[in-house]
Amino acid sequence: MEPIDVASERLSRIVTEIDQYSETIITETDTRVKIVDRIFVEVLGWEYGELLTEDSAIEGFVDYNFRVDGRSKLIVEAKRDSAPFEIDTAKTPIRGYKLNGPVFRSRMVKEGIGQAIRYCGAKNAELACLTNGRQWIVFRGNRLGDGRDTIDGMAFVFDSLQAVLANFARFYSLLARDSVKLLEYRPIFQEAEGRPIRTSTTHRSLIRAGSAKVIPASDLAANIERVMSSFFQRLTGDDDQDMLTACFVETRESAAADVRLSRISGDILERIRSLDTGDAAILTSLIDRAAQSKRNEFVVLVGTKCSAPEVLRGLTVQVRHARVIKV
């Protein structure tokens, strides 16, 4: 059987047992020992060595601090079973509800959510849960620097243990030890918030680090490589200059591009005028005329003659509307 199936059967058995001793669940300690502890350890797969109770934090003590590899991952605030949360029992755990929305308006729930958010910040844990043993509210108590207000996030509500059983897959994917370790709850909240889901079902490399090795080439592979190298070497045109021309295939797109380039080239050529470089005064006059007309013309100096001293001395006019480029 899959772990989730085993966990579901265990929860069914625990719910039956809880019904048998429900009259003894009075205080918050009763709720934690007889319901919350059992569900997290026996159903959700957490080890006792991974949880801290009454862990010291800013402005108080955390009811439960669940840790993986010594790092806080889940904060749980537990209330007594005799204090039910005032939430709409028609709410479904399949969809999320805004933490600052109408579902969580009761004073006890708002205070519990606020406590969990503060403790998540103090312990730098991301996931939070508020429960009275029978009702469960699961949400992200720390956004981990994504720039959004924590209270604007979404929460999933299980308004009874029967609702947990009916929607156990969602409950398990949110709070199970392995799911929390692998951050499998993140895409669930991202989907509820209407954000892109960036996750993968692969949580480990398919090839172990250092296991890669070079496979020696066979005689056949070596012969094929020589044949392919010889064939593609001809396509470079190093030995046959006409090869590339013969391999060129004209398409409708390339023909259209040729036409457009031809038009652009023709338009440019029509605008080019050559000058008699024997007299620097001609070039000076051109630049002076462009400056006076303010037409933003370009003057391109090409060749060795443009570097002659008499030409450079002729460029003494104050130019503001002509740009001279020496090539």
- For position 9, which CATH number holds? 3.90.1570.30
pLDDT at 128: 97
What confidence tens digit (pLDDT) does each residue in 90-111 have? 667 678 899 998 888 888 999 9
Residue 288 lies in a domain: yes
Same-domain status, 176 and 301:
no
* Whether the predicted pLDDT of 256 surpasses 90: no
268/314: higher pLDDT:
268
Answer whether residue 263 is part of any domain. Answer: no
Confidence label for 197 from pLDDT (cuts 50, 70 and 90): low
Same domain, 13 and 105: yes
Instruction: Report the pLDDT value the prediction gives residue 302, as an integer from 0 to 100.
Output: 62
Domain boundary (177, 192, 207) is at 192
- Is residue 312 predicted with pLDDT exceeding 70? no
Better-predicted residue by pLDDT, 128 or 303: 128
Lowest mean pLDDT segment, chosen from 19-23, 119-123, 151-155, 248-252: 248-252
pLDDT at 168: 95
For the stretch 4-13, pLDDT in tens is: 999 999 999 9
Residue 247 lies in a domain: no
182 within some domain: yes
Are 35 and 81 contacting, i.e. CB atoms less than 8 angstroms apart? yes
Cα distance between residue 121 and residue 123, in whole Å:
6
Residue at 88 is within a domain: yes
In a domain, 261, yes or no: no
Assigned token pair, 106: 């009761």
164 with 294, same domain?
Answer: no
Indicate if 162 and 290 belong to the same structural domain.
Answer: no
Residue 239 contacts by C-beta under 8 Å, 6 or more apart in sequence? 233
Residue 57 has pLDDT above 80, yes or no: yes
Buried b / exposed e along 143-171 (16+ C-beta atoms within 10 A): beeeeeebeebbbbbbbebebbeeebebb
**pTM higher than 0.85, yes or no?**
no
CB-CB neighbours of 236 under 10 Å: 10
Residue ending a domain, among 192, 222, 250, is 192
Residue 35 sits in the same domain as residue 136 = yes
pLDDT band at 280 (very low <50, low <70, confident <90, very high): low
Return the percent helix, strand and coil in the chain, to nearest 5.
45, 15, 40
Mark whether 33 and 141 lie in a shared domain.
yes
- 64-100 per-position pLDDT tens digit: 999 999 999 999 999 988 778 887 656 676 788 999 9
* Closest to 134 in 3D by CA, of 172, 79, 88, 176: 79
Instruction: Answer yes or no: do 146 and 21 share one domain.
Output: yes
How far apart (Å, rounded) are the C-alpha atoms in residues 40 and 152? 27
Q: Domain boundary at 192, 209, 243, which? A: 192
The pLDDT of 245-267, averaged and rounded, is: 78
Domain that holds residue 315: 270-327
> Is 60 a member of any domain?
yes
DSSP 43: I
- What's the domain count of the chain? 2
Q: Are residues 140 and 274 both part of a single domain? A: no
| 214 in any annotated domain | no
Residue 239 is predicted with a pLDDT of 64
